[in-house]
Amino acid sequence: MARKIVVTSGKGGVGKTTVAAFLSAQLARRGQRVILCDADFGLNNVDVVTGVENLVTYDVVDAIEGRCRAKQALVRHPDFANLYILTSSHSAPERYVSPQSLRLVIDALAPQFDFVFIDCPAGIDDGFHRAVACAEEAIVVTTPHVSAIRDADKVITLLKSYEFENVSVVVNKLRGDLLVAGESLSPPEISELLKSRLLGVLPEEYGIFGGELSDIHPAFKMLAGNLLSGKRKLYDVTKKYSGVLGGIRRFLKKSL
C-alpha cells in the first residue's frame, strides 16, 4: 500500500510542484513505484514540469466521471519507468471535483504503488482541503522568506485537525551565499519557528530545477533517502560558498 503524501505550502511559487516532481523522479529511479497526482485544478502544471503534456490521453476528471478506469488515467513517464502522472482537468477545466471523488481514484490505485504524491494548490481553501483529504502524510514546503514561513505555519496549524502520521518541512530555494553572510534564516532557525522537523533542504539553483525532470541533484538524493529511511541528513548549501573559491563565488553572485 502506497504512502500518500500531500505536498503543500500555503504560499504559491515556493516550489511545491518542483519538490513533488523531482522527489517522485528520484524515488522512481530507486525502484519505488510512484504516482504523482496533480491536485491543483486551477494552475495545474505537473504535466508540463514532468514533460508529459503531449502524452496525456485521460486525466483524473475522466477517471472520476467514469470515462476511463483509474489506471488508464495514469501517464507513464517516458524516462522514469516507475513514475506515473495523474494529470488534472484537461478534459473538463471547469468541473467541480469533490474531495471524496478524488480520494476514491487515489485509493483505487494506491495498493499497487509505494508512493502517491499529491501536488496541492496554493491557498488554504477548498483546493487545499481536497488535496489534503486524500493524504495521510504531509510535506510542507517553504522558502527562507518570512512570508512563506508564515504561510507554512498556518498550514501546519490547519493540518493538525487531520491528525496526520507525519508532517515534515522542506526548505527550498536556500541561498548558501546569503546563509554564509548571515542574511538568510538558517534551516535550524526555520525548523524552530515552525516547531517541525525538517525533511530536507534544497538550494536555489535556477536552470536545474526549472529545467528537465532529472534525478541527479545530490540535495534531492538526500531528500529521497530521508523519506525512505526516516533519517534527517541535510544538504549543505553553504559548501560552495566557503573557502577562497567560495568567497569568489559569493562576490560574483553579489555583483550579478
Ligand X SMILES: Nc1ncnc2c1ncn2[C@@H]1O[C@H](COP(=O)(O)OP(=O)(O)O)[C@@H](O)[C@H]1O
201 is a contact residue toward ligand X (CB under 6 A): no
The pair phi, psi for residue 82, each rounded to 5°, is: -95, 10
Q: Which residue is nearest to Mg ion (CB)?
A: 17
Answer for which of 10, 17, 137, 237 binds ligand X (CB under 6 A) is: 17
CB nearer to Mg ion: give 39 or 64: 39
Q: How many residues sit close enough to ligand X to count as binding (CB under 6 A)?
A: 17
Least CB distance to ligand X at residue 71 (A)? 26
243, interface contact from ligand X, Mg ion, none, CB < 5-8 Å by kind: none
89 is a contact residue toward Mg ion (CB under 5 A): no
CB nearer to ligand X: give 40 or 62: 40
**Alpha-carbon gap, residue 247 to 244, rounded angstroms:** 5
> CA 185 from chain center: how many Å?
21
210 is a contact residue toward ligand X (CB under 6 A): yes
**b vs e for 103-142, b when ≥16 Cβ sit within 10 Å of the residue's Cβ?**
bebbeebbeebbbbbbbbbbbbeebbebbbbbbbbbbbbb
Instruction: List the end-to-end C-alpha distance of the chain, in Å, as a whole number.
Output: 48
15, interface contact from ligand X, Mg ion, none, CB < 5-8 Å by kind: ligand X
Region from 73-81, 127-135, 202-210, 228-236 binding ligand X, contact rule CB under 6 A: 202-210
Q: Are 68 and 91 in contact (CB under 8 A)?
A: no
107 is a contact residue toward ligand X (CB under 6 A): no
18 is a contact residue toward ligand X (CB under 6 A): yes
Chain residues 7-26 in contact with Mg ion, contact rule CB under 5 A: 16-17
206 is a contact residue toward ligand X (CB under 6 A): yes
Answer for which of 3, 16, 29, 130 binds ligand X (CB under 6 A) is: 16
Q: How many residues are present in the chain?
A: 256
Contacts of range 147-150, beta carbons closer than 8 Å, 24 or more positions apart: 147/11, 148/9, 148/10, 148/11, 148/14, 149/185, 149/190, 149/193, 149/194
CB nearer to ligand X: give 4 or 175: 175
Q: Are 152 and 9 in contact (CB under 8 A)?
A: yes
Q: Give the pairing type, strands 198-203 and 166-174.
A: parallel
Q: What's the grid cell of residue 151?
A: 504561510
202 is a contact residue toward ligand X (CB under 6 A): yes
13, interface contact from Mg ion, ligand X, none, CB < 5-8 Å by kind: ligand X
219, interface contact from Mg ion, ligand X, none, CB < 5-8 Å by kind: none
Query: For residue 152, with 0-12 CB atoms within 10 Å meaning exposed, 13-18 middle and 19 or more buried, which class applies?
Result: buried
> CA 16 from chain center: how many Å?
4
- Contact set with ligand X (CB under 6 A): 9, 12-18, 122, 172-173, 202, 204-206, 209-210
Binding site for Mg ion (CB under 5 A): 16-17
